[in-house]
A and B are shown apart, each in its own frame.
Chain A
Amino acid sequence: MFPALLLVTLPLSAALLMLLWPRFARSLHVTVALLSVPLAGYFLQQILLHGEQQWLLGGWSPLLAIRWQADSLSALLLLLSALLHLLVSGYALAVQARDRLPAAFWPLSSLLLASLQALWLARDLFNWYVCLELLGMVAVALVTLSGDKALKPALNYLLFSLFASLCYLLGVALLYAGYGALDLPLLAGQLEANRLNAMALLLITLGLMLKAACWPLHIWLPAAHAAAPAAVSALLSALVVKGPLFILYLVWTELAPQAFWLPASYLFALAALGALLFGGIAALRTPYGKSLVAYSTVAQLGYATLALAFVLRFNLPEFVAALWLFVLAHALAKAASFLAMGELQQTLGSKQVSALKGASQTMPLAMFAFAVAGGSLIGLPPSGGFLAKWALLLGLWQSQQYFWLLVLAVATLLAAAYVFRVVVLAFDRAEPTAPDFAPQRLPQYLALLPALAVWAMALFSMPLLTLLKQEL
């Protein structure tokens, strides 16, 4: 119980203390961030040693209590969140004086970690609602840290997020109407394929897809992620949108009756198609650097959605592996690219992509980090993006989805186009944009770190796949 519990309560109580004594906010935050990583690592190891663990909070009987359950996937996501949180904390610490990061960042990002960790552990439909709401509100509060220019995107994000939560809640209420339970393992396999459940699952899916910014429900994302401070955008893109995706996956694979799987797979596939194509095109056309990265998130989520669609359609282990590998690879790559892009914009003093002219000379490290992370977004070997795409490719060949192979190819080229749109510009030596001040090195190295990690991910494909319990 203790490692899992501490992973949630440590950042939570630390956040409370930070609010109480703002003077110690930074040191508390860093301490917790540092503690969380080994703790999560230890927890993962425990899960690997002893197998899946679960707890009924309060010690009540299954139907009554809220269930926490940790399989290796949850443990992996816990570790990922802790790691990225630590990274972003380091980055925030490095730039806080320069960027005038409001003091509220520290407790808020700790709360973000706490709510994410709570979400990965929970297996209760209503508790997920509260977690989602919490996550959404922390995310919006974090977006508003950029000040007045972020107000409109933040409010928009909040309204969408609220609507999504309500959709989800309505779905849960309808499920409860039929089965009188909220516990996922108890409900698993119980659902019949009737109209009521179809409606409930549709609503749940709608809400979660809105929150996970699946195309065409992504419209809130680019503005919000682009408006937030770089450290926040990194967290939002890397982790926050994955929370609802995780629930979506569990709801569909464990809860939904098999009869619904095929139609749902069409729905997800359609969303994936739109995300991959239109997300990529939007990223290619937007004039702003962080919008580009944000649209790339929309596009990349398309891969995960596609994998989910095929999990439901063919139930091959390749697709499950692809889904989670995409999530992992995207989390790392997106953290790197947002931090790098934020650093570039801050130092070069412009939001425009065109301001990145000559950045390979003026800020080689940040540019390199962006390019390396971009390599994973494209899916170049041996990056994590490649590994995930490889799994997806194998699955698609195996299930003879030639059309989707084509889509994948086009999406890959689009990703290459928007990544290299920036990189090529960075090599422009004609009139490099002069930095407003001497570039700081530490934040750039911090941006590079996850990029390098994701770049080497395929070399660790075996342990990762073992963790995901999938064989290719």
Chain B
Amino acid sequence: MLSFYLYLGTAVLLVGIGGLGLWRGPELLRRILALNVIGAGIFMLMVTLAYRPVMQGEPADSVLHALVLTGLVVAVSATAFALALLGRLLTRAD
């Protein structure tokens, strides 16, 4: 149970750290990384929530796992798109 709260807290702190990076930047690449950190925090929160049944000796919540998997793919797609735009922007700048 302590672990549960530990991971929960870590997840939220990760969201916070990501938010900090997103705000502060200064490079766009770091902002994109920051979004990924926020995403990782949220996914971690969801995975931790899915872990709750395990503490009662049941299997983990597979719906949440599926959602996180979906979210992961969405996140990597968005990151790839953002990085492509960023790449073009930087190439053009010089």
* A positions within 8 Å CB-CB of B: 64, 126, 129-130, 133, 137, 140-141, 144, 148, 151-152, 154-155, 158-159, 162-163, 165-166, 169-170, 173, 176-177, 180
Contacts and interface: CB of A to CB of B under 8 A. Distances in A.
User: Ordered nearest first, which 10 A-B pairs have the shortest CB separation?
Assistant: A155-B85, A151-B89, A170-B42, A173-B46, A177-B49, A166-B38, A133-B74, A162-B35, A162-B78, A158-B82
A126 B81 contact: no
B63 to A, nearest CB: 8
Contacts, number: 63
Contact of A137 (B32, B45, B77, B89): B77
B50 to A, nearest CB: 10
Contacts of A165: 74
B13 interface: no
A148 B94 CA distance: 13
A158 B89 contact: no
A173 B28 CA distance: 27
Given A140-B81, A155-B89, A176-B64, 20 more contacts: A64-B63, A126-B70, A133-B78, A137-B81, A141-B81, A144-B85, A148-B88, A151-B92, A152-B89, A155-B85, A158-B78, A158-B81, A159-B31, A163-B22, A163-B38, A169-B42, A169-B71, A170-B15, A170-B42, A177-B45
A155 B86 contact: yes
B38, B46, B74, B85: which has the most chain A beta carbons within 10 Å? B85
A169 B15 CA distance: 12
B67 interface: yes
Interface string B66-92: 010011001001100110011011001
B42 A166 contact: yes
Interface string B27-43: 01001100100110010
Given A151-B85, A152-B89, A159-B32, A170 B78 contact: no
A158 B85 contact: yes
A79 B85 CA distance: 33
A375 to B, nearest CB: 38
A173 B49 contact: yes
8 contacts: A129-B71, A144-B85, A148-B92, A151-B92, A154-B85, A159-B82, A166-B39, A173-B46
A137 B70 contact: no
A169 to B, nearest CB: 6
Contacts of A154: 85
A176 B49 CA distance: 9
Contact of B67 (A126, A141, A155, A159): A126
Nearest to A177: B49
B74 A130 contact: yes
A69 to B, nearest CB: 20
B93 to A, nearest CB: 10
A142 to B, nearest CB: 12
A64, A155, A177: which has the most chain B beta carbons within 10 Å? A155
Given A155-B89, A163-B22, A170 B45 contact: yes
Interface string B5-36: 00000000001000000100000100110010
